[in-house]
Amino acid sequence: MAERTIPIADMRHVAEVPQVPERTAPPSGLLADRLGRPLRDLRISVTDRCNFRCSYCMPKEVFDGSYQFLPHASLLTFEELARLARVFVAHGVQKIRLTGGEPLLRKHVERLVEMLAELRTVDGRALDLTLTTNATLLAKKARALKDAGLQRVTVSLDALDDAVFRRMNDVDFPVAEVLAGLDAAIDAGLGPIKVNMVVKRGTNDHEIVPMARHFREHYGGGVVLRFIEFMDVGNSNGWRMDHVLPSAQVLERLDAVFPLEPLEPTAPGETAERWRYRDGRGEIGLISSVTQAFCRDCNRARLSTEGKLYLCLFASRGHDLRALLRGGASDEQIAGAIGLIWADRDDRYSELRGSGQAPVASGERKVEMHYIGG
């Protein structure tokens, strides 16, 4: 059956202006949703643009030269992003990840990093401040990002074979330059580094063992390679279940060559199942959001580059915080609105999909990954 790319509906306007409670109180840092999940992790998309056209995220058939990205005036300024981040931190957020699109395409993004690095959690600690990138600009930016206060990076890399990688990014970008960016990040001290490989059956699954071998042998355990099941994010990537290689099968392939043993999670709500090489040469991670949903512990919120708050990677609609920001709302009012939104959250898309229930209402379309980040 031929693979089909599905045109997207523009979901960027599908957002409600949040309700501000009549009476507000300072955030306690103890906010929880309807399933008892705290708010601990904020993903901030700083741009909806990317210089890759990966088929699982921004297929060229949809995101071509005529696609209308958000105008600059629609984007939140760094000052607005930092202001919202401060409110989220007051509600208990401990980790902020900058994402995109490709976040290094946002000019002077290190200035935003500098602002966020000044924030402190409710118990006075520095934030866990990180960034996900395709590494195309990382060699140029790594030192400035580290100097600004970024702690570590996650690099997206789906194959070591150059021909496979060029086909997957669909802009003929060479793998050698991604590896050069990764090395620059290591030299700058942006670690421990994670490398994310989206595994698509029949496309790059033959690269699983070569990827593991490379990072075991060349980085001495200093880089954690994570294998991600191909997910049904958005509407444009032609997702089908038969394109998914379950993490259990990824583990079987790896364990047959490099024996592995399980590790305990490093933190509550961690998405990756951790495994260590028995010979001590590092570890890998398995992210199984299709076959082993981890919704029950999900403590992440996502903020789009134009200020829409999403409560799930698979959401159909957001909450327009920009309207509050630019409408004159105080920090206390914005905090109150976010509190109401999170307290009412019951999202568990992957869990419902896995149990055979309809995870979204009929006719609703999910927001695209490039718009709210992975």
Do the domain assignments include residue 123? yes
Mean pLDDT of 46-74: 90
> Does pTM surpass 0.75?
yes
At position 83, the amino acid (one-letter code) is R
Residue 204 lies in a domain: no
- What is the DSSP secondary structure assignment for residue 355, as one 8-state letter? T
Q: What is the CATH number of the domain that holds 144?
A: 3.20.20.70
- Angstrom CA distances, 150 to 112, 127, 308, stand at 10, 10, 24
What residues make up the domain containing 310?
A: 15-185+297-372
Using CA atoms, how far residue 146 sits from 35, 126, 152, 191, 323, in Å, is: 37, 15, 8, 10, 33
* Dist. CA 266–CA 275, nearest whole Å: 12
If you average pLDDT over residues 352-358, what whole number do you get? Answer: 64
Residue 127, in any domain of the structure: yes
**How many domains does the chain fold into?**
1
As to burial, measured by CB atoms within 10 angstroms (0-12 exposed, 13-18 middle, 19+ buried), residue 150 is buried
Percent of the chain with pLDDT over 70: 88
Establish if 132 belongs to a structural domain: yes
User: Is residue 86 included in any domain, yes or no?
Assistant: yes
pLDDT value of position 355: 64
Q: Which of 127-141, 295-309, 342-356 has the lowest mean pLDDT?
A: 342-356
Q: Is residue 252 part of a domain?
A: no
- Evaluate whether 190 touches 153 at the Cβ level (below 8 Å): yes
What per-residue confidence (pLDDT) applies to 152?
96
30-39 pLDDT tens trace: 999 999 999 9
Measured between alpha carbons, how far is 340 from 159 in angstroms, rounded to an integer? 42
Q: What is the pLDDT of residues 191-236, one digit of tens each?
A: 899 999 999 999 999 999 999 999 999 997 789 999 999 876 555 5
| Tokens 């995870």 belong to residue | 359
Can you give the pLDDT at residue 2?
40
The answer to whether position 242 is within a domain reads no
Residue 74, helix vs strand vs coil: helix
Residue 318: inside a domain: yes
pLDDT at 297: 87
| Residue pLDDT, tens place only, 309-343 | 999 887 778 999 999 999 999 999 999 999 999 99
Do residues 64 and 58 make contact, with C-beta atoms less than 8 angstroms apart? Answer: no
CA 325 from chain centre, in angstroms, equals: 24
State residue 362's pLDDT score.
47
* Whole-number Å distance between alpha carbons of 255 and 315: 35
